Amino acid sequence: MTDLVTSAQMRAIERTAFESGVVTGLDLMERAGEGVVAAIQMRWPDAQRVTVLCGPGNNGGDGFVVARLLREAGCAVRVLAAAVPDRMPPDAAENARRWLEAGVILPLTRKTLNDPDWGRSDLYVDAIFGTGLSRPPKGDIASVLLRLGGASGDGEYYSNRLVAIDAPSGLCLDSGRILLAGESVPHAALTVTFHCLKAGHVLSRGPEVCGEVVVHDIGLEPWLRNRKGMNSQEFAWFMAGRTPPLGLVSPLPFERMNADARVGSFMIEALNKFGRLSEETHKYTYGHALVLTGGMGRTGAARLAARAALRVGAGLVTLGAPGGAMLECAAQITALMLRRVEGGGDLAALLGDPRITALCLGPGMGVERAAEMLAVVREGGVKPHPTVVVDADGLTALGPVAAPLPPGWVLTPHGGEFARLFPDLAAKLTAPADTGPAYSKVDATREAAARAGCVVLFKGPDTVIAAPDGRAAVHAATGARAVPWLATAGAGDVLAGLIAGLCARGLGGFEAACAAAWLHVEAARAFGPGLIAEDLPEALPGVLRALG
Ligand SMILES: NC(=O)C1=CN([C@@H]2O[C@H](COP(=O)(O)OP(=O)(O)OC[C@H]3O[C@@H](n4cnc5c(N)ncnc54)[C@H](O)[C@@H]3O)[C@@H](O)[C@H]2O)[C@@H](O)CC1
Ligand SMILES: Nc1ncnc2c1ncn2[C@@H]1O[C@H](COP(=O)(O)OP(=O)(O)O)[C@@H](O)[C@H]1O
Ligand SMILES: [K+]
């Protein structure tokens, strides 16, 4: 996993760096501006005319650095600013003054943006708001932002040449939600952020409005590691006291695993488990997953989940089917085992076998059957408890969660299921965002996990995984990893099976859910468009082989 910080955590890192005397705010702002200019020059080497839009805070300060450096590089640069230097924070004010030594500042209004005497620019740099956005922009600034977003029908024109510093203004960097009324919000071609990604870059609308995201190193990492002996997440955690770490499930978790990263250690564990397939082991070493099916004609979802559990390396996978569906299952499966699970008593008896280490409950089961089986694992006092992955009909049977569920459960809701399980949290997530930082999918998933006392994986292109102790991770299937073809019937059943399979092998629920989210998307990427859910388990061996 790689680090993902909130705006407050980023501020805490910067503040501590300043206070320790290792760097000044002006140094950091200069480095930030240099990073933006380098990224611009690499992508638009021929840009001649540039408009820089500066807000009232330090994001605006970065804009003044960019304006000065581009002017020094020979560009014709025009600066529109929301505040006079005296009303800006000290570092931003200093950079505004440096700009004024050989330039002018025009008011940041739609009229000056569209001034026919200047005409069009090759590039527009959005330095209006970054991590400090605290409320929806109003007045002139809102009007400019809506124009950049295409309120006059020219959204594509701007989005092809808009470079955002830290974020397109209006994007809440904690939630990925838009704090700007109206549909026309700025969409950048390129966003340059500093030190590490912020949660808002990968959540909700962040990926859509940021375009390509470049993380520019402003020199804080060596200081954090050498002086503090921590990575950003650990440091932010340490500073904030109670805020547990947030990780981004890395696109290359095994290659980029980081021995010091507490949140990354599960990937090492997972690798070891895959690597330890040796002659001395036998099938029970890798656990036994039980997947419950629905009745006749409704066993496909569970069979998909079971195949995924087997492919991801569970030693044994058994389908538990009612008598009427046994023949259907038997005709379709080979490597899977089959047991009759007619009612709750059959399940209780099966779970008496301590070698069953994971149970997948929900896909295709029907709500009534799922409710009966849930009652067995919920109240039956089954010992030792297998990890229970509850999906689909299992989640519907669960209904609103008001009190903690037994430990060791993993809930895997999509948006609709999440709203049924946690209606108040879903309402907060969909209510208009009128202050920053806005309530985020990470906040909602963390609250859900704390309330349910178990791991919650909240699906979507931005999948969020949270544990009851507050650990959370985002898995982003966006940007270069976008797999819109994964939104296909049955894909969720495969994900539930992957989690059950990894849990059967001994991974903890949080680690299994993170790893499964990654493997699921890698399998979809490996297969490509045209994918149907059946293809996912079959694409897994290639993905696992590539991990070494
Ligand atoms: N010295 C530093 O702390 C560094 C800061 N950096 C830049 O500084 C940015 C953060 O700076 P700030 O904390 O000053 O925050 P911003 O520059 O993002 O904006 C905050 C300012 O805008 C005002 N504001 C917020 N929402 C508003 C709204 N809707 N309408 C009108 N005004 C609004 C706030 O009151 C505040 O004055 C980062 O995004 C990054 O670009 C980088 O230069 C790295 C170094
Ligand atoms: N646009 C998307 N990009 C990437 N993954 C997606 C996208 N839409 C859905 N998914 C993933 O596809 C799966 C769909 O699961 P679910 O909604 O339960 O569907 P089903 O019940 O049909 O299997 C989830 O893992 C979800 O995260
Ligand atoms: K910005």
The domains located in the chain, with CATH, are 24-218 (3.40.50.10260), 283-413+479-546 (3.40.1190.20)
Coil, helix or strand at residue 320:
strand
- Is 293 annotated among the ligand-binding residues? no
In this structure, of 122-131, 159-168, 180-189, 268-277, the range with the lowest mean pLDDT score is 268-277
**Across 467-493, average pLDDT:** 92
Given a cut of 70, whether residue 129 has pLDDT beyond it is yes
For residue 105, report the distance from its CA to the centre of ligand 2, in Å. Answer: 48
Residue 319 has φ and ψ, to the nearest 5°, of -90, 130
| Sign of the dihedral through C-alpha 84, 86, 91, 97 | positive
List the single range of 14-23, 54-63, 499-508 with lowest mean pLDDT: 14-23
| pLDDT band at residue 278 using 50, 70 and 90 as cut-offs | very low
Question: Regarding predicted confidence, which is higher, 78 or 379?
Answer: 78
pLDDT value at residue 239: 55
Give the SS3 label for residue 96.
helix
- Separation between Cα atoms, residue 173 and residue 476, nearest integer Å: 15
pLDDT in the model for residue 234: 60
Task: Give the nearest ligand 1 atom to 32 CA.
Answer: 43
The answer to the question of whether 7 is labelled as a binding residue is no
Segment 232-241 mean pLDDT: 57
Provide the ipTM: 0.94
**Distance (Å) from CA 168 to ligand 3 centroid:** 5
Q: In what order do the strands lie in the sheet with 76-81?
A: 105-107, 76-81, 49-54, 123-127, 162-165, 190-194, 212-216
Residue 376 has pLDDT above 70, yes or no: yes
For residue 488, give the ligand 2 atom closest to its CA: 22
Nearest alpha carbon, ligand 1 atom 25: 133
pLDDT higher at 288 or 225? 288
Secondary structure of residue 377 in the 3-state scheme: helix
State the chain's mean pLDDT as an integer.
Answer: 89
- DSSP H or E segment with residue 410: strand 409-411
Question: Average pLDDT for residues 388-405, to the nearest whole number?
Answer: 97
To test ligand 1's pocket by mutation, which of 24, 134, 195 has the most ligand atoms within 8 angstroms of CB?
A: 134
- Quote the pLDDT of residue 282: 61
Q: Between 6 and 207, whose confidence is greater?
A: 207
When pLDDT is averaged across residues 397-418 and rounded to a whole number, the result is 96
- Say if CB 418 and CB 398 are below 8 A apart: no
Res. 256: pLDDT tops 50: no
CA 262 to chain centre: 18
Asked whether residue 366 carries a pLDDT value surpassing 70, the answer given is yes
Confidence of residue 280 (pLDDT cuts 50, 70, 90): low
**Protein residues with CB under 6 Å of any ligand 2 atom:** 392, 414, 459-461, 463, 477, 483-484, 486-487, 489-493, 495, 520
Of 417, 486, 525, which is best to mutate to test ligand 2, by the most ligand atoms within 8 angstroms of its C-beta? Answer: 486
Phi and psi torsions of 214, nearest 5°: -115, 130
First to last CA, the chain: 18
Ligand 1-lining residues (CB < 6 angstroms)? 14, 25, 28-29, 32, 55-60, 62, 89, 91, 129-137, 141, 165-166, 194
The residue contributing the CA closest to ligand 2 atom 9 is 487
4-44 pLDDT per residue, tens: 888 988 888 888 888 888 889 999 999 999 999 999 999 99
Ligand index nearest the alpha carbon of residue 479: 2
Q: Is 460 labelled as part of a ligand binding site? A: yes
Any idea what DSSP says for residue 168?
Answer: -
pLDDT at 268: 41
Q: How does residue 248 score in pLDDT terms, banded at 50, 70 and 90?
A: confident
335 Cα: distance to centroid of ligand 2 (angstroms): 26
Q: What is the three-class DSSP state of 295?
A: coil
Q: What ligand 2 atom has the least distance to the C-alpha of 301?
A: 23
Cα(193) to ligand 3 centroid in Å equals 9
What's the full length of the chain, in residues?
548
Q: What is the pLDDT of residues 427-459, one digit of tens each?
A: 999 999 888 899 999 999 999 999 999 999 999
Lowest mean pLDDT among 118-127, 273-282, 480-489: 273-282
Rounded to whole angstroms, the Cα distance separating 527 from 522 reads 9
Q: How confident is the model at residue 264 (pLDDT cuts 50, 70, 90)?
A: very low
Q: What is the pLDDT of residue 340?
A: 98
Instruction: Give 32 Cα–ligand 2 centroid separation in angstroms.
Output: 37
- Quote the CA–CA distance of 543 and 360 in Å, as a whole number: 23
Q: β-strands 76-81, 316-321: how paired?
A: unpaired
Q: How much is the pLDDT for 254?
A: 32
pLDDT exceeds cutoff 60 at 261? no
Q: Tokens representing 216?
A: 């520019």
Q: Cβ distance 397 to 375 under 8 Å?
A: no
- Residue 224 DSSP code: I
pLDDT tens-digit series, residues 149-170: 998 888 899 999 999 999 999 9
Instruction: Calculate how far, in angstroms, residue 474's C-alpha sits from the geometric centre of ligand 1.
Output: 25
Average pLDDT over residues 494-514: 94
Tokens of 174: 């904690």
Q: What is each CA distance from 152 to 25, 52, 146, 494, in whole angstroms?
A: 38, 20, 8, 44
pLDDT at 404 over 60: yes
Helices (DSSP H) in 190-231: which residue ranges? 199-202, 206-210, 220-223
Residue 362 has pLDDT above 60, yes or no: yes
470 annotated as belonging to a binding site for a ligand: no
Q: What is the pLDDT of residues 296-331, one digit of tens each?
A: 999 999 999 999 999 999 999 999 999 999 999 999
Strands 387-390 and 246-248: unpaired
